[in-house]
Structure 1
């Protein structure tokens, strides 16, 4: 079952990064400015963000297995449409459909893994679920660059078809049947409207902030609108008997501390992940394929730590994993002294240690958040954790890139030194909820 679910997750996370290297080619072949072509990436991310909050309700109504298969089928068909696109508008529309499939597929698959594993196997299930999340940002640009150079941009999407078809066959045959909850309430349309528009506003505003800064009307309007709509969604959800997402889970201290830690880790890990590729491309003048290869040490460190995190978690508890992982992220310190000629071996060594920190911390935090939850509550908790992780990453990306832009002009590599000092500060702040989560665990066991 784990392999089947990982097929869909790898495709979903890979397509979030593999397209980034093809934007210039898409602009040339399909027409349109780079600002328009950027929506090939933005549309995918917005669609994922919009559909995530409804996943819990959909799992209860359709069953996790049916929903996973439907989402994977949607993703595969959308990939074929992407490859067949003959205009930039058609490609963007197909990418939005692809994002909808990916946004449902990942949490539905994780719900299947966690609820089937039970409390005893939850840590190992969460580690398995984290493999695509940790590795695809590293290998995605490399795969995209190689496909673009030797096969053409269409193969960035065509490669999904045989893998996705195999995943569909295996899912139909191997995934366990999951019951539908016929007694679950009707879809909370008001809550769905509020949270979808709020997520779109927040995600779009933060992505624009990374490009244009935080003081532009095109950034402030969607950001403020997204915050207001999200606040309205929270107020609405606490009043109605059958909300789209059960926010009462936040009364559970394990869930609350685990959720805050997950958001903070999203900021530290995924937000900072954009800085080193920019350094390699802007300061070292490397192409996307070589940049992806140089990011591999971080992926190696993350993979090694993922393999260790489950046994450490089961024997010692989350405190060592999460706090230790965040302290490993203090391997950011050497990046405060980047130069235009910093040796690659020094960068690689620091990236391995930072990867260890990312791999140690990410999945145990989510596991702790679901420690005392029933299978029914896990259905509500999973999309909330994914939303928080995504928002944390978007906030980190926006803030770190804005800091970089402010110090890059006339400052060269100094802009990266300042940006990584912000990453270090965020890592230190993230230790606070992580330590609280670990202490609570220690007192309860």
Structure 2
């Protein structure tokens, strides 16, 4: 066994000098020691950012649940009211591409606070929307705010924590990412059963007010730096490209076909726009998003694995509610209760996953986590509709535990691989690739379930194949994570 090397963090700097402190294990990553304890101010920062994360994640699941009720009340067709969700997602894609530039120009603390204020205000506007058109317009503005708030919050945390504490801090904050979608169906069902749909938006107000007050007190509000003017052509290419790809993939869910013009045409145009953005960025001194960051092999490998992990996670988040609602005929509230085990597994395990990531590196943890997701999901490809409920809950809990070890270590590894000044762009890239991967995962499930119905298969057979596909996506993410592991070791 090789002798461990020791480093000490020089006070007030990001460099290391020889001495005593955190040890470097055989795995080539720093193991937490006393000097790596997370200061109280970092946890305060994390607590503030959690308010934004909860709002963003909970809002999506709540509004999607209430679309039918909202459409009936505003006298809008399903095709029209669907844009309440679609417009939000497309706007999210646009603002993700500009978040890095805004963070460098004005400071990420100010960007986060402004985005939180805009998200809260547009929530009020959505609640009092008199028509479907007004509601869709406000949801687009809300999506623009959410697309700024999520990566800005992650950037703040990354800069406050530093690379050696990244896993633990991201792990605790990730509880909101896993817990909010799991609780969303239950909360939304109870709200719609007792109150009007407007409360699906009004619930954001207390979170927004508390978060804004805490943000003013605890978040860093330093100004930005000279970044040059906004590269509008790059913004159009990148924002339009991401939105077009996500939109085209989401259209697959309507008829389950890749060949429809509403699917392949936006995807093709989006990919062409993204290719133009990449070509333009490579020639500019100050690009909108620094695509050259992908020359960092660890950062590139972490994002590649995160792309497939996002595909697996989003497909599972779509599939599990359908499994209970469609296959078993459960109500919305009962479905939400059934999914609590999944959310609980993730919430319990995320802090442990963060500690393991800091100690051993995100690559090895993600290899095991994504493999565990596949093993937890695969039994659903063989279970009948009369499966023992205790077994189902145990599998859901195991899937939640595995999910906590699958995605967040990859995000932490990507952020730890770059300099603090690169974090705004890194956060944008991570979120873009996760969401495009998620759109692909959801599209795969939609096609499988649609084709199964059209081919005359039994409903159960369609879900068996869908769960098998989700397990295959997790295996792909595990394989991609081995590349990250190899680069981290070297």
TM-score for both structures, normalised by structure 2: 0.88
Q: How far has the Cα of 1:231 moved from its partner?
A: 1.0
2:337 is aligned to 293
Structure 2 Cα separation of the partners of residues 368 and 114 of structure 1: 11
Query: Is contact 1:319–1:438 with CA below 8 Å preserved after alignment?
Result: yes
Query: Is contact 1:338–1:416 with CA below 8 Å preserved after alignment?
Result: no
Task: Confirm or deny that 1:179 pairs with 2:223.
Answer: yes
Structure 1 Cα separation of the partners of residues 67 and 359 of structure 2: 46
CA offsets 1:8-52 (integer angstroms, 9 cap, x no match): 111011111111111111111101111111111111111111110
Match of 1:206 among 223, 246, 249: 249
CA offsets 1:46-74 (integer angstroms, 9 cap, x no match): 11111101000000111111111110110
Q: How far has the Cα of 1:298 moved from its partner?
A: 1.1
| Ranges of 4+ aligned residues in structure 1 off by more than 4 Å | none
Match of 2:453 among 408, 422, 430: 408
CA offsets 1:363-394 (integer angstroms, 9 cap, x no match): 11112123331111112111000000001100
Query: Is contact 1:271–1:392 with CA below 8 Å preserved after alignment?
Result: no
Task: Confirm or deny that 1:152 pairs with 2:199.
Answer: no
Task: Confirm or deny that 1:21 pairs with 2:65.
Answer: yes
Give the SS at the match of 1:119. coil
2:478 is aligned to 431
Query: Is contact 1:210–1:398 with CA below 8 Å preserved after alignment?
Result: yes
1:441 is aligned to 488
Give the SS at the match of 1:361. coil
Structure 2 Cα separation of the partners of residues 365 and 186 of structure 1: 32
2:13 is aligned to none
Query: Is contact 2:46–2:157 with CA below 8 Å preserved after alignment?
Result: yes
Match of 1:267 among 307, 311, 314: 311
Structure number having the greater helix percentage: 1
Structure 2 Cα separation of the partners of residues 128 and 96 of structure 1: 30
Match of 2:385 among 329, 340, 356: 340
1:188 is aligned to 231
For structure 2, list consecutive stretches of 5 or more residues without a partner in the other structure: 1-44
Structure 1 Cα separation of the partners of residues 472 and 176 of structure 2: 27
Structure 2 Cα separation of the partners of residues 367 and 109 of structure 1: 14
Deviation larger for 368-377 or 143-152: 368-377
Structure 2 Cα separation of the partners of residues 231 and 388 of structure 1: 15
2:279 is aligned to 235
Match of 2:267 among 204, 213, 223: 223
Deviation larger for 250-259 or 300-309: 300-309
Structure 1 Cα separation of the partners of residues 91 and 448 of structure 2: 27
Q: How far has the Cα of 1:344 moved from its partner?
A: 2.1
Match of 2:355 among 300, 311, 318: 311
2:168 is aligned to 124
Deviation larger for 121-130 or 388-397: 121-130
TM-score for both structures, normalised by structure 1: 0.97
Query: Is contact 2:345–2:400 with CA below 8 Å preserved after alignment?
Result: yes
Structure 1 Cα separation of the partners of residues 164 and 131 of structure 2: 50
Q: Which has the larger radius of gyration?
A: 2
